Amino acid sequence: MSRLPDRLFPEAVPDVAGTAAALADPSRAAMCAALMDGRAWTVGELGSYAGIARSTTSEHVDVLAASDLVTRVRQGRHCYVTLSGPGAARVIEALGVMSASVLPTAHSLNAWTANKRLLAARTCYRHLAGRLGVSLAEHLHERGHLDSSWRLTDSGEDLLATWGLEKPLRSHGEACMDSTERRFHLGGPLGTALTQALFDRAWIARIGRSRAVKVTEPGREALAQAGLEGVLTYLDETTSNGAAG
């Protein structure tokens, strides 16, 4: 026989407490932040990132998987972990927006540089985020390439067609609140397609194993040719003057 709960409620509301509890641990929060790069990580890699033993990492992954926040995929003798999908990414980014603090980092030049790079440009799961992502979205709006509903206008379709996007032109965009900028970057299927196109054309590149990305020289040229040099101006100014967060 199944045991009745200690309390009964007037309505069958979602039990968000279970999901919140799964994220209510610094190690699991750090692991989820790492997985926001949209790639698959091994358990060992996540443990190294969070600074904990592999056995402890496996226990944390079990908790996250039980709440459908992550998915485990076995490939040969390795077990890979990914976020379960865009829904989990939205939850994590939204909580980041609401958070009034950050996890502590070492007082070192390496940590300061890593933090500065994340603030400048990074991936938010499969979207472009940070100052670069926010500035690109704002300039696309200002140039009339995105409308108020975050859909491409005719000029926006023409521009992205020259960037190699065809089928994704019919995809819709979404306003995704950026956890560090507190402004919107381009999310949704359109944001995913655009970010992937920038990677495919090597106009942006990842920096090491982190979520941080940089604009390459060909990428700078492409943005300038599209009349979006303001994106670069803002990024360069904030990167040279900004401090780590």
Residue 173: which of 157, 151, 154, 156 has the closest Cα?
151
How many Cα neighbours within 13 Å face the side chain of 220? 9
pLDDT recorded at residue 243: 40
pLDDT recorded at residue 170: 67
| For residues 161-175, average pLDDT | 79
pLDDT recorded at residue 245: 33
**Which SS3 state, helix, strand or coil, does residue 105 take?**
coil
| For residues 218-232, average pLDDT | 94
| For residues 39-53, average pLDDT | 94
| Strand 204-206, strand 184-187: pairing | unpaired
H helix intervals, the chain: 16-23, 26-35, 43-50, 54-66, 86-98, 109-120, 130-142, 154-162, 188-200, 217-225, 229-241
| For residues 227-239, average pLDDT | 82
Rounded Cα gap, residues 174 and 186, in angstroms: 6
